[in-house]
Structure 1
Amino acid sequence: MRILLAEDEHDLKRALVAVLMHSGYDVDAVENGAEAVKFASMNAYDCMVLDIMMPVMNGMDALSKIREAGDRTPVIFLTAKAEVEDRINGLDAGADDYLTKPFAIGELIARIKSLTRRLETYTPKVLEAGNVIMDIDEQEIKCENAVRLGGKEAKLMEYFMLNKGKMLSTENIFNHVWKDDEDASIDLVYVYVSYLNSKLSAIGASIVIEGEEGANYHLVQK
């Protein structure tokens, strides 16, 4: 899983990166809200951990911009403020959880795990990209025509539509779609992307999945 960490306290950031990586997470670490917004616009994350008080752009303003872009990634705010009003403002800005400094590293890891387990609960039942509408429950995509998707196709299409425009690595895609299939091969990513592009073309879609086998892919307008 991949985490975006935005924290301007150098020692704390270094410690958090070390612990998160030791716990099996890939981590992109930045030092201000503007960088967090930039990274969130380019990459797909399983969770974001944002300090509130940062230079250039604070965490609340950064999260507002991230949410305005349609990004639903779970977010945990870190702050030195403990007042109830500050917690309310953080949640109103779109955060899913809130930790007051100082905090136990183990508690942060537990909250990340809890939010990522619940991520599917937050997924909308209908997604849109370009002229394509996807019904999650029916596993169907439609625009000029409609077509049903197989289980893995639907999960892959959902992941691309939730992260439209972002670069997704083959490894990241594989870990999300085939994480519970011990017999699956990473080569399936290229095969299933080809399946989806054929079905998108068949329904007259204005979107396409671009990329190269074994490299990065992204969902874009034609």
Structure 2
Amino acid sequence: MRILIVEDEKLLAQSLKTLLERKGFAVELAYDGATGAEHADTGIYDLLILDVMMPGLNGFELARHLRRRHSAVPILMLTARSDLSDRIEGLNAGADYYLTKPFEIGELLACVRALLRRQGGQVDQLRLGNTALDLDAATLCCGEKSLRLSAREFDVMRLLMQAGGGNIPKEVILTRVWGFDSGAGENSVEVYVGFLRKKLKSLGSDVNIAAVRRVGYHLEVAQG
């Protein structure tokens, strides 16, 4: 499960990241609302943890932005604003739960697990054309054929499938899959796209990874 924490208190954000990673979650951080929105718009996260008081785009605005885009990702608001009016605004903005600071670690973990349980079981595979990506087994399937993907192949394919045919810039794929500080170059994306193209072809898939110069990659279904 992948979690995005959008929190401008860097020490708290890092502490939450460490805590959740010890529990087996994959966690990424953003320190302001605009960057958080950019990350969340990729659609690759299973849960968002949002602070409310942030520079630029605050947590309420970010939640509203995502719900306007019909994102159903669970949102946990984590904030020092404890007034009833703030809770109501957060829930009306699209938050699924509103937890005030200071909080107990046990309560935070219980909220995270509850929201992920609610999310779990809704989607266990992504499908396009005659091809499916099994999210539990990390396999690419076409009819009776299937191939297991490496961790990075899976992350790239999941990103493309979740975009539903929309273009994803190469730098976004690089950041989302390899991370901000990995040192990997854009040629890494090209290499893994090549791996995936070969696997799609070997499965007899009608899905192709198309490249648009200076725009990015997207999936296309061959017309029969």
TM-score bracket relative to the smaller structure:
0.5 to 0.7
| Alpha-carbon separation, structure 2, partners of 1:159 and 1:72 | 16
- Give 1:93 shift: 0.8
Kindly report structure 1 stretches of 4+ aligned residues shifted beyond 6 Å.
156-160, 189-192
Taking the TM superposition and a 5 Å limit, the aligned residue runs for 1:96-111 are 96-111=96-111
- Tell me if the contact between 1:44 and 1:163 (Cα under 8 Å) persists in the aligned partners: no
1:198 CA drift (Å):
3.1
Aligned to 1:18: 18
Structure 1 residue runs of 5 or longer lacking an equivalent are 133-148, 170-188, 201-207, 212-217
- 1:135 counterpart residue number: none
- 8 Å CA contact 1:52–1:58 kept in 2: the answer is yes
Separation in structure 2 between the aligned mates of residue 35 and residue 48 of structure 1, nearest angstrom: 13
The one-letter code matched in structure 2 to 1:88 is I
Counterpart in 2 of 1:88?
Answer: 88
TM-score computed with the length of structure 2 as normaliser: 0.60
% of aligned pairs identical? Answer: 36
Q: Is the 8 A contact 1:71 1:162 kept in 2?
A: no
Partner of 2:35: 35
Q: Distance in 2 between matches of 1:70 and 1:50?
A: 18
1:16-74 Cα offsets, whole Å, 9 max, x none, are: 11101111111111111101101112350110000011012101111222222232111
- How many residue pairs match? The answer is 173
Q: Which residue of 2 aligns with 1:115?
A: 115
Kindly tell me: are residues 103 and 195 of structure 1, through their superposed partners in 2, closer, same or farther at Cα, counting changes over 3 Å? Answer: farther
Partner amino acid, structure 2, of 1:198: S
SS at structure 1 position matched to 2:86: helix
For residue 198 of structure 1, the aligned residue among 205, 213, 219 is 205
Determine if contact 2:42/2:163 at 8 Å carries over to the other structure: no
